[in-house]
Copies of this chain bind each other. A is one copy, B any other.
């Protein structure tokens, strides 16, 4: 099989797991955070920098690449890895999330979704088969089934219909999927209804995917509700398959989800807030573009060993960001990805050596305190 998972250790107190995701482009220690490279590039970063940071797998977007430059062009270029000069692993989403986000610009039917491009308004059609075809052309290591990421809040009847269709689409994706080098993951949906989440999980497990995404969470619901949904769903998934919580990437959500048994994460937030001048620290967030940092000649984060922190001050980074200089975004992006990737490494280490519960307690006591500091 193209992608397999080795479960190395389970926490004896919580649901946390440490493992290895084996892909055609390398083994990835889990739990893992995947930086997002929407348009065949992780914004502001080079592949060499991503490697230096320690990223082993990135996510790229079917919807964006299909529209521009087009999946055929990328296929012609030798596939996405070669096109973007990234020889480690790539997971592609199905495009479903972006298409459903288009709101009035898309129409859902059983056969698929008709939508208009956000770039030029041109009309397109995305079906489960097409989503698979595009991802096979891109040549990612892990592809995702086409699903509907339902809005929150949503009526039970809406979620019931959506979920049933999502399962039928998952079957069609599985049918259409031909590549032996690429793994196709299913996606658990079900809105905020515990019984529907369970139903979705059981239906997908019956289809025997090599891995499972959990979609439709962190869409505006209270954090506790998201954790409840994970608590209901994860015990139903096979322990020997990786579980990927889609679109989640803040430290607090990550540690709570790892605790419940999630292995993989992705999120645009770390790179997006970086470009707005906000950095992530072990303890929270710090908006370095704010005035108090104008004459602050300390590194972005005291004690951080990343390239940005070893060489530059908050004052310099703030200056660059105020002056709209690209290098400022490079430094904040580098730092934020470094912080998250190393956070995952510390979490993994603690699971392996049996101290995850202590790391978790320490995190909960610390995180968010820094906000009040300045």
Chain A residues at the B interface, C-beta cutoff of 8 Å: 39-41, 43-46, 64, 68-69, 73, 76-78, 83-85, 294-295, 297, 311-313, 315-316, 318-320, 322-323, 325-330
Contact = CB atoms under 8 A, between A and B. Distances in A.
Contacts of A76: 295, 297
Contact of A319 (B40, B45, B318, B328): B40
A39 B324 CA distance: 10
Contacts of A295: 73, 76
Contacts of A330: 46, 326
Pick the most buried of A39, A313, A319: most chain B CB atoms within 10 A of its CB: A319
Given A323-B39, A326-B329, A313 B44 contact: no
A315 B45 contact: no
A40 to B, nearest CB: 7
Pick the most buried of A85, A313, A323, A327: most chain B CB atoms within 10 A of its CB: A327
B85 A327 contact: no
A176 to B, nearest CB: 26
A43 B45 CA distance: 15
A43 to B, nearest CB: 6
B68 A319 contact: yes
Contact of A39 (B64, B85, B325): B325
B43 A316 contact: no
Given A43-B327, A85-B311, 10 more contacts: A40-B319, A41-B320, A41-B328, A45-B327, A68-B322, A69-B315, A69-B319, A83-B313, A84-B316, A326-B329
B327 A297 contact: no
Nearest to A72: B295
* A-B interface, 8 closest residue pairs, ranked by CB to CB distance from nearest: A69-B319, A44-B326, A41-B327, A39-B323, A85-B311, A41-B325, A83-B316, A326-B326
Copies in the complex: 2
A72 to B, nearest CB: 9
A330 B297 CA distance: 27
Contacts of A41: 320, 325-328
A142 to B, nearest CB: 22
A46 B84 contact: no
A39 B325 CA distance: 8
Contacts of A45: 327
Contacts of A83: 313, 315-316
A212 B200 CA distance: 76
A46 B297 contact: no
A306 to B, nearest CB: 13
A59 to B, nearest CB: 16
A295 B72 CA distance: 10
Contacts of A294: 69, 73
Contacts of A329: 326
B73 A326 contact: no
5 contacts: A64-B323, A73-B315, A77-B297, A77-B313, A83-B315
A43 B326 contact: yes
A85 B319 CA distance: 14
A302 B77 CA distance: 17
A328 to B, nearest CB: 8
A313 B322 CA distance: 33
Contacts of A46: 327, 330
Nearest to A313: B77
Nearest to A320: B41
A319 B311 CA distance: 32
A323 B68 contact: yes
